[in-house]
Structure 1
Amino acid sequence: MLDWKNRAGSASEPAAATAPVKERGYFGGLFFSRAVGTLVGIYLLVTIAVGWYWSQEPALFPVQQNAQAAAERQGRQMVIGFTTIETLKTVAQTLLDKPGGYLSNDRMPPGLWLDNIPSWEYGVLVQVRDLSRALRKDFARSQSQSAEDSDLARAEPLFNFDNKSWILPSSESQYREGIAALSRYQARLSAPDQKNALFYARADNLNNWLGDVGTRLGSLSQRLSASVGRVKLNSTLKTETLVSVKPGEVPQVDEEIVETPWLQIDNVFYEARGQAWALSHLLRAIEVDFADVLAKKNATVSVRQIIRELEASQEPMWSPMVLNGGAFGVLANHSLVMANYISRANAAIIDLRQLLSQG
């Protein structure tokens, strides 16, 4: 006779045996998911901390002391032009050797997430490019028919290489080659037995470079002011419009609102910070190498006034983000504050150029 009770008991044994296996699988999967979540959380915290550290802007450095230390280290003479070249090299080197290195072409976090420092880097690079072009075109040539210096002719296109190239070749490799070309020119310039490298500290050369500087600052001032929207007048009137205007009437001028996109406000702000940072150092070097020219033109005070305005724009940012409050509102508008410093520096450059152009 069959024992149904025993058969029922034996049938339930496999289910009971598999229960611990299912529980172990459940708890194992839960532990794995929690471990992965913990690792992801730690990774995000680390990248945020590293990104914050990399976002710190480099401090100002003493230009004249830096040039003197470089001359002693290299065993060179402090000839006219040495301070300008050494300062340009140091400014360019800072782009590559600051915390995090050069970030504009990063393809991995946290550099991929950062946009303020890459904008700052681009601002610095703009001034490096302008001065390297002025060195090749004006400062190292006695006149327009003179041959350009081979190392400076090599350095300028290297600094004008794509600032976001990641590989083959990378932006960093091109900029380092540009710095090396400046070093070769500097070595020839300061060597007592070589006369094939020259630096002409003349008022017309300085005036030409300051014209480029004024153009850059004027554009920055307009872009910064557009953070709150500005009415732009279209000064280009069509011919038919002028013909249709009767005597005594004022022609109608088209108006449009120019406003920086909200997501670009901080980029413009940090680009201005970068240009002001680089330009303040370069002008301090110019003050050393063009000391005689500036003294003869009574322009030394004007240069120092420009430097003061630019260095004032480098005050630490206590806000975690660039605020875009109204001009007379409750919240600050950091772009308008920066535009004030840039505009004052640009006005001083205009006055300086007038002094240099006078006989």
Structure 2
Amino acid sequence: MMKFADKLSFLQGAGQLSSVGKWFAILVGILCLVWSALGIYWSNEPAQFDVVSAAKQQAEQRGYLNNSKKLVVGYTTANTLYAMVDTLLEKPGGFLNNDIMPPGVFMDNIPAWEFGVLVQVRDMSRALRKDFSRSQSQSTEDSNLKVVEPQFNFDNNSWALPSSEGEYRRGNDELLKYLDRLAVRGDAGAQFYARSDNLQNWL
């Protein structure tokens, strides 16, 4: 009789475990659906933008666009760099290269796209620092751009302490300061030398 009772108790316990397993499976299924939906949404490549219009909009918001609606030389180039980094950080899902949680950790297309953009960002920030902002190679470096370049070259896989996003955001803040100074004509402003040799070095 005791053996039968033990068997009955075991079956009841197994039934409870089976019920827990079902709820666990449902929870996992819901998480997978949510992650899949987010992954699909985050996989949309950001839209292209008109670099001149974006630069004029930025200059107007910052109060630097005069009545002639003309931008100072170099403003469109530097603002395009700023917009590229801003897109990396603010697009749906944010910066995914350093994600350690689903669905970002399972994605590859957008992180690969991000790295391609990051390579261009690093090349342009280096060209701005070394060439475009200096009249000669011996000239003093721009105070903002010498911060911008190393910030954009920070490890793109760092999740925290510090995070890649935080370092890139700091670099973009410094780039915005350069843009503000570039828009101010005169000795107090930053410089952009649109020479063919500078363009050749960048390319």
TM surpasses 0.5: yes
1:190 maps to 183
Shift of residue 18 of structure 1?
6.8
Deviation string 1:172-206 (CA, Å, 9 cap, x unpaired) is: 11111110111111111112465341111112211
What runs of 5+ residues in structure 2 fail to find an aligned partner? 66-70
Shift of residue 158 of structure 1?
0.8
1:128 maps to 121
Runs of 4+, deviation exceeding 4 Å:
14-23
Q: 1:166 aligns with which of 156, 159, 174?
A: 159
Instruction: Mark the structure with the bigger radius of gyration.
Output: 1
TM-score by length of 2: 0.89
Shift of residue 20 of structure 1?
6.4
2-side partners of 1:17 and 1:103: how far apart?
56
1:25 maps to 13
Report which structure shows greater RCO (CA 8 Å, sep ≥6): 2
Matches within 5 A, 1:158-237: 158-192=151-185, 195-210=188-203
Matched, 1:48 2:36: yes
Structure 1 residues 74 and 196 mapped into 2: Cα distance closer, same or farther (>3 Å)? closer
2-side partners of 1:136 and 1:193: how far apart?
19
2:93 maps to 100
SS of residue in 2 equivalent to 1:34: helix
Shift of residue 26 of structure 1?
3.3
2:57 maps to 69
* Backbone CA RMSD of aligned residues: 1.9
1-side partners of 2:7 and 2:197: how far apart?
91
1:110 maps to 103
Shift of residue 166 of structure 1?
1.4
TM-score by length of 1: 0.52
Shift of residue 144 of structure 1?
2.0
Q: Tell me if structure 2 keeps the 8 A contact 1:188–1:194.
A: no
Deviation string 1:27-78 (CA, Å, 9 cap, x unpaired) is: 3222111111111111112112211221221111121111111111110132
Percent sequence identity over aligned pairs = 54
Q: Which amino acid aligns with 2:157?
A: K
Shift of residue 134 of structure 1?
0.6
Q: 2:83 aligns with which of 58, 82, 90?
A: 90
Matched, 1:137 2:130: yes
Deviation string 1:292-351 (CA, Å, 9 cap, x unpaired) is: xxxxxxxxxxxxxxxxxxxxxxxxxxxxxxxxxxxxxxxxxxxxxxxxxxxxxxxxxxxx
What runs of 5+ residues in structure 1 fail to find an aligned partner? 1-11, 211-359
Q: Which amino acid aligns with 1:36?
A: F
